[in-house]
Every structure is written in structure tokens, then in C-alpha cells.
Structure 1
């Protein structure tokens, strides 16, 4: 027979999961501005006191949700796993895979699409904090690739910035307006496949250009 402690722990985790899920549903339906302790509790079907008990306050709950869901924030505790990125060949493969997965992830996650829109149009200390954390993670990752492009005339940070922001814009444009860009429809599998291939090609070109002596200082 299951112990009382195990039952309490399981109920606590289930309630926390309901609250986190409620945050995601509200962000998808109404955006960040639709969040609030009462609204989250009502959506989850639990007493709002449990938000304070398990998370401290509403902002901490929202932050927990974002930290769990955001693609880049998942790398915060995994930086040691990228030691192999110091080798150019491995770096090219790892960075390509990371950006390809970012594109696929962002295309499929409606709540994160809405959250990025909120970041572009709203001001709040929480969103600013999340943006800073995300930026610091990216900067830490790129520190490992900086030596590969020293004196090459190539800004791999610039390449990465354009790819990351381009992924966000491509997906938001397709999801909100259903439009095409340069004749590519990423709502179609063929369009998404072409973007994934091109991400890999751009990273490959960036790494091969110094070897071929095609850059200028």
C-alpha cells in the first residue's frame, strides 16, 4: 500500500503540473497579459493558495513554466556537454543540429510563439530577465566557437544572430499570416525541409570560407 508521504508528493506534483499547464494554455489563448494568480488557478481548477505554497507567487510560477519550456533555457545546465564544440568539425555539426532543432521546436510550440511575440511588444521585468538569461546562454555557447574564426573576417556571432532571429520571424510570419517568404511556405513540409537544409548549409559555408581563403579583413 502506498504511503501517505508518497501520496502527498504525487498529489503535489500533479497540482504543480496542472498549474504549469494552465500557464501555457493562457499564454496560447490570451498572451502574457492574460496571466494572473486567479486566472491561472481557475484554469487549473485548484485553490490559488497552492500557487503560493508550491511556487512562492504568480511570477515565480510563470518563470518556472518558461524555464521548463524555452528551447534555449534548457541549455543552462548543460554547458559542460558541449566540450566537443571546441573541435571545428564537431562544432559545425553541433551548432547545425541545435539550430535545426530550434526551428522545429519553435514551429510546433504555440505557447512559445505567443511568448516571443510578447517579448517583442511588451515590457516587464520577468520577460527582460528571461531574455537576458537566453542571451547569456547563447553568448557562453559562442565563446567556444570564437577561436575558430579568429582573424578570419567572419563574424560567426553575426551568422548565429541572423539565423536565430530569422527562425523566429519565419515561424511567426507563417503561423500568424500564413504567408510565404521568398516563395517558401514553411507551413508545408517541403518548405520546412528546405529551411532545415539551408541552416546546415549556412553553418557549413561559414566554417569552410576561412579554409578556402574566400574572406577579406
Structure 2
């Protein structure tokens, strides 16, 4: 006796096929580069009809947006989860310290994200645009969560958090990518946890420093 309805079975099949198409796209990018990616190549890699790309994602751009969402690699609620974990001991600096270390870990453990970050510096296409849009939304959400914390902890101090987090994030991206080929950068061992704790700590100290009169 059947235990499921045809509609529920079709729904499960659709989700599985969508995931196969997303993963096939990621595999092609990783193995052959973005120039090798296209509707026919993706369908062949996934072992399905290319018609399903249009049926499930609307168009090729829709599939690339789904790939970007899969590859974003960073929890949109990371800032709030860090604050909850730190609890009453949380300070603006300790939150930034945890953010730096988490960003470094996220990038260093994911080869395809590293590949895409390098690729974005020299190429502009639908996927890089989708990735940038996804990261921008996440970054602004982190900024908003951090601003709420600051407004209740240091209400009299004005900090341009968008500019600060842009600088910190870009620095972490670059130094993490650079650590694949260089051990020491300006005297700091960027291949070691100790070196990264130095970087995170100095940012923490600067942010926690009492404002000047």
C-alpha cells in the first residue's frame, strides 16, 4: 500500500532535482571554470533534461541565483548568534574578534569560495553578480545587528560601521587568500591561528578603546 500521495512524491523529486542541478553547476565551476558552465553542460552533468532548469528555476539566471545562495557560506544571523554565545560578557571588540576568526575559517575551509573570490576580481558575469548581491545583503544584516548592540552599549559614540566592516571583511578576504602562498605578511604569520588571533585582537582593542574626550 502506498504511503505517500503523487503530489508529495513529485515535490520530493523536484527538490532532489533542483539540488542535483545546483551541485552540478558548482562541480563544473570548480573543475572547469565558469566558461564551461551553460544550460546544456549543467543538464548533462546532472543527468537530467535541460527543460527542468527552466521549469524549476525560471531561467538560467534563476539557477545561478540558487547557486549563489548555496555558496554564500556565511550565516545571515551570525552576528546575533555570536552575541548570544558571548552573553553578558560581550563587548563590541569581542564580537568583532569572533567575526574575524569566523570569516577566516569560513573562507579557508572552502576551496570553491576561495576560487570564486579570486575569480570575482577579474571577471563579471551573472554568477559573480548574484554572489555579490547575496553577500551584500548578509553584510548589511550583520551591520544592522551590530549597530543595535552598539546603540545600547555605547550610545554616545558614533562609529561608521558600514565602512569599518567593509575594511575588516576585505582585509580578512585578502589575507586568507594570500595565506595559501605566503606564510608571513608584515611580520604576522597568516597561516597560523596565533597570527590570526593577533589580527583579531588588535581590531578588538581598537574598538573597545574608550572614546577620546
How does the TM-score come out when normalised to structure 2? 0.76
- Equivalent residue for 2:142? 141
Using the alignment, how far apart are the partners of 1:122 and 1:131 within structure 2?
A: 12
| Shift of residue 127, structure 1, vs aligned partner | 2.6
| Shift of residue 80, structure 1, vs aligned partner | 9.8
Say how many residue pairs are matched: 201
Match status 1:174 vs 2:213: no
Match status 1:24 vs 2:26: yes
| Shift of residue 173, structure 1, vs aligned partner | 2.5
Name stretches of at least 5 consecutive residues in structure 2 with no aligned partner: none
Contact 2:28 2:37 in 1 (8 A): yes
3-state SS in 1 of match to 2:90 = helix
| Shift of residue 165, structure 1, vs aligned partner | 1.4
Using the alignment, how far apart are the partners of 1:48 and 1:164 within structure 2?
A: 38
Name stretches of at least 5 consecutive residues in structure 1 with no aligned partner: none
Relative contact order higher in (CA < 8 Å, ≥ 6 apart): 2
Contact 1:25 1:111 in 2 (8 A): no
Contact 1:163 1:199 in 2 (8 A): no
Distance 1:83 1:195, change over 3 A: closer
| Shift of residue 71, structure 1, vs aligned partner | 2.9
Using the alignment, how far apart are the partners of 2:22 and 2:101 within structure 1?
A: 27
From 28, 35, 43, the counterpart of 1:33: 35
From 53, 60, 63, the counterpart of 1:61: 63
| Shift of residue 199, structure 1, vs aligned partner | 4.5
Q: Which has the higher helix share?
A: 1
How does the TM-score come out when normalised to structure 1? 0.74
Post-superposition Cα deviations, 1:160-198, rounded to whole Å, max 9, x if no partner, equal 3333112222232334xx332336252xxxx1x124423
Q: How does 1:1-217 map to 2 (within 5 A)?
A: 1-3=2-4, 4-72=6-74, 74-75=75-76, 78=77, 81=80, 89-143=90-144, 144-145=146-147, 147=151, 148=154, 151=157, 157-175=162-180, 178-182=181-185, 184=189, 186=191, 191=192, 193-210=193-210, 213=212
Alignment RMSD (CA, Å): 3.3
Q: Which 10-residue stretch deviates more, 154-163 or 166-175?
A: 154-163
Using the alignment, how far apart are the partners of 1:181 and 1:89 within structure 2?
A: 31
